[in-house]
Amino acid sequence: MSDQQYPLTFGYPAKQGLYDPASEKDSCGVGFVANIKGQPSHQIMLDAYHLNSRMDHRGGCGFEANTGDGAGILMALPHSFFHKVAKDELNKDLPPAGSYAVGIVFLPQDATEREICIDTINGVIAEEGQQLVGWREVPIDAKGANVGPAALMAQPFIAQLFIAAEDGLAGDAFERVLYVIRKRFTHSLRNNESLKEAKQVYACSLSTKVIVYKGMLTPGQLFPFYRDLTNPAFETHLAMVHSRFSTNTFPSWDRAQPNRFMSHNGEINTLRGNVNSMVARQGKVATDAFGDKLESVFPVIDSDCSDSGSFDAVLEFMLLSGRSLAEATMMMIPEAWQSDRNMAQEKKDFYEYHSALMEPWDGPASIVFSDGKYIGAVLDRNGLRPSRYYITHDDKCIMASEVGVLQVDPANVKLKGRLQPGKMFLIDFDQGILIPDEEVKQIISSKRPYGEWLAKQRVTLADIAGTEEAHSLDSENTLQRMQSFGYTTETMQFMLIPLVTEARDPLGSMGNDSALACLSDKPRMIYDYFKQLFAQVTNPPIDSIREEVVMSLRCFIGPEGNLLETTPEQAHRLSLEHPILSNRQLVDLKNIDHQGMRSQVIDITFEAGEGNGFMNAIERICAEATQAISDGYAFIILSDRNTSKHRIPLSALVATGAVHHHLVKKEQRTQIGIAVETGEAREVHHHCLLTGFGADAINPYLAFEALWQANKEGLLGDKYPTEDDLVAGYKKGVAKGMMKVMAKMGISTLQSYRGAQIFEAVGLAEEIIDKCFAGTASRVQGVNFDVLIEESRRRHSLGYPAKDSERIPVLNNPGDFHWRTGGDAHMWNPNTIFNLQLASRNNSSEAYAEFARHVNEEATQQCTLRGLLKFRTDVNSSIPIEEVEPASEI
């Protein structure tokens, strides 16, 4: 390839405007062809080429039809081919299989930078005690493959690296050293700011077992581009293929698939939470597998990984740390076991035990995985991606995202079927057999007595139940506290009372026409600045009512164990059936002293007279959370019960998000549970936000008191005779509401939803996002900490005014849902409705013009972002009409 430099920025653009590289997603076609008996042949390669080419429609291309989003192939290492290549091209003899590795490495186009990279990689190989056999420039034919200009401009230099193991090293031990080598040079070079093309450096694979050829190609270009693949001597017993559709994101050479161990068709909806949890686990994991080199492989997930790449990185880490490929996959994509009455108890116990170690990677997914010894596939618990397979009498297995990818004589078909939700199948090449789902999982789940371990180690709320009296209704101070936490008459009328009387999240119609929180001149709660995300395009939602069997709110909370160990103590966590805690349950959690579990309460209020109290409180509670871990506490309880005339509460959401991300950054989040005791949260949206930003459990004590007071006043009828009954009704309504919100994003379990940040902020400044909600999109900026502080003080003064004579004896009604004089702005108000009615009744163009003016100018400017936009009239760049494409040709 030429050493010419192109005017191109490598890697992904920086975060800007509406674009965020963290949103990169894949949605694709995937499949494999394999000889079950492990017999290599070039026919497997030919079949794989046809299979992938016939899924061309599942991949994507750019504005140039010959610039693909990505295509690739993973194969078992063709040993005879590479022995010949090494002898003919490098004049070297390779050691036996298992004692040498081959990798495909993308390098900079610039010759000088490429030499720097090669020298660095050679140095790392030597430092790790392995032998460099040599480098080979991979033969390519871009012209013959008709690769498009955009792909050619971004194309890296593609090299092949040969490494021989030191004496006495082979197999899995050598694989771990190769992993360390790859991690070390990747971290060093991709983060080297002196290299303009640093992001070109990428190792597609480096292994003794498998090799990956891939690129920013279409499926039909893959084999013509890489000449090795069409060589008849290139023989393998398995070939996994992938065609990429980069969903609303940028294609690139490195993000083409397969990854190093798997290919993925789908989307990981809980990615942010999964990645944060994995970062936090790095502070706890320990293993002898890597000797003293464990720190060198961190971070396990590189910051610029896609959802598929992140999944692959964790799968690889667990595999090389000693877990089997099937076991690791079962941990990451478990079946819907919680409500399955027909599932074997042994398998249920396996899933429950491992849920104490890792949350599911949830979302629609068909995943094919292989380490060369095995190849298999698994489908997500909802079965939201197609996966069909054929087994033939001549021992060939064909699996793909759809049927018809290869012509198979019906007489040769021994077995055919489709993967079902949560199911897996596995081919063991050493034994030459296909192992069905039940057998695979029975073998794995019966290896250890998971049920016995759970029975001895799992802690429930019943185990920690105490006798101390819990808080009940405090009628004298309830109104005052409700006012200070922003309760209104509409909160009760439209949200809380329907939540318990109808036992579901209240519904509205025709959308919300009130002003966005960032445009409102009323003190709005920070929850109002967030919008829930929802499944779109190829990412379907779930029906949480009809598909209730796949939904679950059950979670383990408290300190996690070592992800890489399998011991009884890993199950020693508190199991919750519901994230909402009653006052009784919270008192038990505060007083817990059970098998080493203790909790500490952290006050999240600050002195009203303290000038910088808000920001100081954030720093204080983060420091106290860290200290609680050092002191051996299992739980912290962020509490605003000390709210009074002289103490102002931090928003529970601000406090939770700040502590959660503080602990994630310090790699300590999985070492403690976070419960929130707050008078602020009452609606389903509030609980979703608190959970989404890291809360493990929530006690909305003031919501309970507000409902108890309403019941006392006869507003709830006679449905709830006791306080406990009312709390149970509230929890039932919240459960339905939270599952509805989760399902809207295609997420099935609260354990996955927790910390996943499935929200977008509208009108929050970067300083708030970075401190409390890191990784959340806030595309228009806006409100900063100064505004939040002022709003919290104004809200507090409603309940605790400077003078007692200024106290209002009823809840405020700012008109959040219905327009009121002096209340919040609404797009539909008396002016718009009057003029619309007048125009329709009298056929008055003047009245309609006034209606249109008010809607298009006044109402939208007060309520919406689009109302702030104006057409630029200072730009004189009109297009000649003859240059406009006719509608008939579009």
Q: Which long-range contacts (CB under 8 A, 24 or more apart) does 428-431 make?
A: 428/373, 428/374, 429/34, 429/36, 429/37, 429/38, 429/237, 429/238, 429/372, 429/373, 429/374, 429/375, 430/38, 430/373
Active site residue 28: yes
For the chain, what's the residue count? 890
What the block records as the tokens of 16 is 């800007």
What is d(CA 480, CA 528) in angstroms, rounded to the nearest whole number? 22
What is d(CA 851, CA 845) in angstroms, rounded to the nearest whole number? 10
Helix axes 307-320, 325-332, angle to 10 degrees: 140
- If DSSP codes are grouped into helix, strand and coil, which group holds residue 632? coil
Catalytic residue among 28, 204, 397, 863: 28
What the block records as the tokens of 313 is 């990185």
Paired strand residues for 41: 236
DSSP per-residue codes, 88-141:
III-----STTSEEEEEEEE-SSHHHHHHHHHHHHHHHHHTT-EEEEEEEPPB-
Beta carbons within 8 Å of 398's beta carbon, 6+ residues apart: 31, 32, 33, 47, 51, 389, 390, 392, 405, 406, 408
- Residue 795: what residue type? R
DSSP per-residue codes, 152-168:
HHHPPEEEEEEEEPPTT
Pairing of strands 605-607, 647-649: antiparallel
Which single residue is written with the structure tokens 């597609």? 204
What is d(CA 620, CA 603) in angstroms, rounded to the nearest whole number? 9
What the block records as the tokens of 413 is 């078909």
What is d(CA 603, CA 621) in angstroms, rounded to the nearest whole number? 8
CB 100 within 8 A of CB 133: yes
- CA dihedral for 852, 857, 862, 865, sign (positive or negative): positive
DSSP 8-state class, residue 604: -
Beta carbons within 8 Å of 849's beta carbon, 6+ residues apart: none
Closest-CA residue to 728 (of 603, 511, 580, 875): 580
- Residue 105: what residue type? V
What is d(CA 321, CA 870) in angstroms, rounded to the nearest whole number? 57
What is d(CA 406, CA 314) in angstroms, rounded to the nearest whole number? 32
Closest-CA residue to 149 (of 306, 3, 8): 8
DSSP 8-state class, residue 609: T
CA distances from 403 to 72, 239, 436, 588 (A): 20, 17, 20, 56
CB 730 within 8 A of CB 499: yes
Beta carbons within 8 Å of 552's beta carbon, 6+ residues apart: 336, 338, 339, 748, 749, 750, 751
Q: Among all residues, which ones are annotated catalytic?
A: 28
